[in-house]
Every structure is written in structure tokens, then in C-alpha cells.
Structure 1
Amino acid sequence: MTASPSSLITLRQLPVDQAPWPLLLLADPDGGQVLRYLAQSRVLALEGEERVLGVVVITPREAGVAEITNLAVDESCQGRGLGRRLLLAAIEQSRDAGVQRLTIATGNSSLAQLSLYQRVGFRIVGVEPDYFVRHYPEPIFENGIQCRDQILLALDLQP
């Protein structure tokens, strides 16, 4: 049995001006925040079914450090391992680019994301209390929990 072309999922770097805004806003509902990092970032997308299924954005920070500033999978495609695939691609491309440390931040209420990040090797390195209360105009709720605190995680890429 062979896979039909529509069932194939490919990873591709997108020009920033082709970034899939509906997905970016799924991960970060504040478009202003997204605009602040998008221009200097690398955008990787998983494409299949004739559309973008998921996206990860990698933003350079200080020397040797990059941050995954956005990671989102279309809601209809969640639970298929696409987020993990995007995360692993970001790790591999960052390592190949000589990045020594990759960071990612998420909310205290993002339980599935926290689990995924730790399963691929990220470690919690800090908490910024009330980050989402201070930086977002509307309260955010996930899993019945108010998203208040930012959880900071990091993965060392070089031995």
C-alpha cells in the first residue's frame, strides 16, 4: 500500500511573509507580540493535505542561544505527533546552526505543552510570576486554569 500525495506531510521553511497567522495566533493570541519576534525569525511549517498543518518559529537571542517563540498545530490535526515532529525539527536545525542552547516558554496552564517539552529533553529553568497577567489585555484560560505565570524551559544542544 502506498501513501497518496495528499497524505504526505513535509517540512519546509517559509518566508516570514508567508507565515500562517491563524496558527501563530493559536499559540500566541496577541498579534503584537508575534510581530515583535517574527521578522528576525526562521519559520518552519509542516505541510500536508494541501495546507499548513503546523508551524514552529525559531528566534535568535544572545550569542549561542535561540528561542522557540511559537509552536502550533492546527486544532483538527492535534494528537497526531505533529507538534513533536516540529519540535524535533527545531532542535535539529538549531543544533546544525551551532546553537548551544534552545529555550522555550509557555504558560502554567499549558499542561500538554509542558509535558511534550520535557519529554524531548527541555528542563524547567525558571518561572516568571504573573507574566501573562501583565502582558496580555484579556485573561487566558486553558484546562480550566488561568494562565498567569510563564514557565521557562531550556535544552542544552552541545555536549
Structure 2
Amino acid sequence: MNIERYREGLTTQLLDLLLMADPDRMAITVYLEGSTIYVARDSNVLIGVAVITHEKEYVELKNLAVKESHQQSGIAKELIATAKSYAKESGATCIQVGTGNSSLSQLALYQKCGFRMQSIKQDYFANYPEPIIENGIRCLDRVVLSALL
């Protein structure tokens, strides 16, 4: 497995990974433009992705996904470490990530990787075309976490 900067176009393989973390195809299309993308590959097959956007005051880890068959193997942690290194090299002092209130394993992962809860944006996901249900909980609120670099 290796992690590398992604410079190709939007393929079905990449979109499938991105949709695992964000079911809003339109939002993905919008934030991919101008983003920095890193992918994890295993024998030239995409198994993970991290999308980083540059905001005015910080860098945001906008999308992070690992193929189900490769989860729980440390790939997400490696992608997060890569995103943090990239952010620091680009001059940022902080990296943020947002996830749903129902994304319990993601909340745990980010905290294990040094992120701290910063804010909650209530009803952020309330108007998604289809309700998001994870762990038996309706995803309504966006939890924003940040880490100093």
C-alpha cells in the first residue's frame, strides 16, 4: 500500500470512495475543484482517499474514506497524517474536519489522531435529499474538530 498525490480526473472508482464519506454528489463536485487529493493504492487499486481544501484561515480535511475491505488497517490514520503534513508544509497552523453527529467511529478516529471538538453546526445535514442514518442515529448535526499543526 502506498499513499500518493492524486492528479487524475474524477473516475468511477474515486467517486465511489468519496460517496462513502459524503452522499451529496453535487457537494463533492463543488469541493473537488481546487482541492488537493491524496489516495492510498494497493496494487494500483484505489483503497482510500483524503480531500483537502484551503480555506482562508485554515486547511480542511473535506473527505476521508477507506474501502470497507481495507478498514481497520491503519490506512485512515496514514491518510490523516499525510493531510496534516501537507497542511503544515503549505503554511497552515490548523487543520479542521467535520463529520456527522452519528458518525461514532469517525469521531473516535479523529480524536485518536489529535483532533479536538471545536463546534457543532446544528441541522447541517437536515436538508440532504435522503436522511442519513448511522448507528441507529439520524445524522442532523455537523461536528467540527480541529488540530493544531
Verify same fold: TM over 0.5. yes
Following TM superposition, by how much is the alpha carbon of 1:16 offset from its aligned partner in structure 2, in angstroms?
A: 5.3
Matching of residues 9-158 of structure 1 within 5 Å: 9-15=1-7, 17-18=9-10, 20-63=14-57, 65-134=58-127, 136-157=128-149
The 2-side partners of 1:147 and 1:16 are apart by 32
**Structure-2 separation of matches of 1:106 and 1:140:** 12
Give the secondary structure class of the aligned counterpart of 1:17: coil
| Number of corresponding residues | 147
Taking the aligned partners of 2:100 and 2:10, their CA distance within structure 1 comes to 27
CA RMSD, Structure 1 to Structure 2 (Å): 1.1
Alpha-carbon distance in 2 for matches of 1:96, 1:118: 22
TM-score normalised over the length of structure 2: 0.94
Identical positions, percent: 39
What TM-score results when the alignment is normalised by the length of structure 1? Answer: 0.89
Unaligned runs of 5+ in 1: 1-8
Letter in 2 for 1:28: D
Q: 1:50, 1:38 → 2: CA distance?
A: 21
Shift of residue 50 of structure 1? 2.9
**Alignment correspondent of 1:6:** none
CA shift, 1:35, in A, is: 1.0
Letter in structure 2 aligned against 1:86: L
The runs of 5 or more residues in structure 2 that have no matched partner are none
SS of 2:81's partner is helix
- Which structure's CA Rg is the greater one? 1
